[in-house]
């Protein structure tokens, strides 16, 4: 077991949670009292992390939202990264994928500079676009396989492409540091993936705003006696956006606790 997977499992045990929380500076997610500026987002995420640190095992940074803020977004990204507790698992949701020489730089940026424990990677350029990430064998690389967006039907879900990607990645992953992204919106496909890759960690988005079926998803994660780590991701489901309350962070904490209860109930065979 590599260092990143061990850290993820330790975080899940210590927090009693399989939940990953999204970090996305977006005006639509803010609660009253915080401005949609780098300073406002910085203040908000400080409160957000304080409210969730005991109730989630991981934080997933969506880099696109930071990049959209320009130079200030880069500073904000690293500032918020510094707020995350050392024992929490950090995912750089970058979905990078390019030729080998470029992929090597992407991997260094995410793993070496940002110090993420994991990153999301697009495999559509093939083996040389993924191997530079797998070379960081103390990290966990989540490869896009069965995504939760409607456009997945165009390529990943057509002609079993997603499953063929998974099988290829398993062949490339000689040091056991790869996992997969599979959406909760298609639990029957997730079950099939778990049968193909029973020991690989899986990152599962699509439970919140995309209305994935939690019970069916948890059942699918057990397909084929799979034992790979499971990480369930929620972003908008933790943000009480537009709610006028004197204590928005208490609402965020309550939302995280309710998600943990729902996940625990759905995890019972």
Render pLDDT for 11-36 as a digit per residue (tens, 0 to 9): 999 999 999 999 999 998 888 889 99
Render pLDDT for 96-110 as a digit per residue (tens, 0 to 9): 999 999 999 999 999
Contacts of 187 (CB under 8 A, 6+ apart): 212, 213, 216, 217, 219, 220
Contacts of 265 (CB under 8 A, 6+ apart): none
Render pLDDT for 158-194 as a digit per residue (tens, 0 to 9): 899 999 999 999 999 999 999 999 998 889 999 999 9
Contact between 238 and 264 (Cβ < 8 Å)? no
pLDDT above 60: residue 242: no
Contacts 24+ apart (CB under 8 A), 69-75: 69/25, 69/38, 72/38, 73/25, 73/38, 75/38
CA atoms of 135 and 122, how far apart (whole Å): 16
Q: Of 15, 60, 95, 258, which is the active-site residue? A: 95
Q: Residue 223's pLDDT band (boundaries 50, 70, 90)?
A: confident
Task: Please report the DSSP string for 124-168 in residue order.
Answer: TT-HHHHHHHHT-TTSEEEEEEE-SSGGGGTTTTGGGHHHHHHHH
Average pLDDT over residues 185-204: 94
Domain coordinates of the chain in residue numbers? 3-267
Domain 3-267 has CATH 2.130.10.10: no
Q: Residue 210's pLDDT band (boundaries 50, 70, 90)?
A: low
Is 258 a catalytic site residue?
no
% of the chain residues with pLDDT over 70: 96
């Amino acid at each position: 077991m590599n260092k990143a997977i061990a850290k993820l499992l330790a975080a899940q045990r210590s927090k009693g949670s399989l939940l990953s929380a999204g970090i996305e500076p977006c005006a639509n997610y803010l609660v009253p009292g915080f401005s949609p500026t780098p300073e406002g987002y910085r203040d908000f995420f400080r409160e957000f992390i304080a409210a969730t640190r005991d109730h989630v095992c991981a934080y997933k940074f969506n880099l696109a939202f930071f990049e959209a803020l320009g130079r200030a977004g880069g500073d904000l990204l690293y500032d918020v990264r510094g707020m995350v507790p050392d024992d929490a698992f950090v995912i750089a949701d970058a979905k990078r994928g390019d030729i080998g020489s470029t992929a090597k730089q992407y991997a260094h940026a995410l793993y070496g500079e940002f110090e993420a424990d994991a990153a999301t990677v697009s495999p559509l350029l093939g083996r040389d676009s993924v191997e530079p990430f797998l070379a960081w064998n103390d990290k966990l690389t989540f490869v896009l396989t069965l995504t939760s967006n409607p456009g997945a039907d165009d390529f990943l879900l057509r002609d079993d492409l997603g499953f063929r990607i998974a099988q290829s990645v398993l062949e490339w992953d000689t040091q056991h540091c790869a996992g997969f992204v599979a959406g909760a919106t298609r639990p029957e496909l997730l079950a099939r993936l778990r049968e193909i890759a029973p020991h690989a960690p899986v990152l599962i988005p699509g439970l919140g705003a995309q209305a994935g079926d939690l019970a069916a998803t948890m059942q699918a994660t057990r397909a084929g006696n799979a034992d790979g780590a499971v990480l369930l991701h929620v972003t908008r489901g933790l943000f009480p956006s537009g709610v006028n309350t004197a204590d928005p962070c208490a609402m965020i904490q309550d939302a995280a606790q309710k998600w943990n209860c729902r996940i625990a109930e759905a995890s019972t065979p």
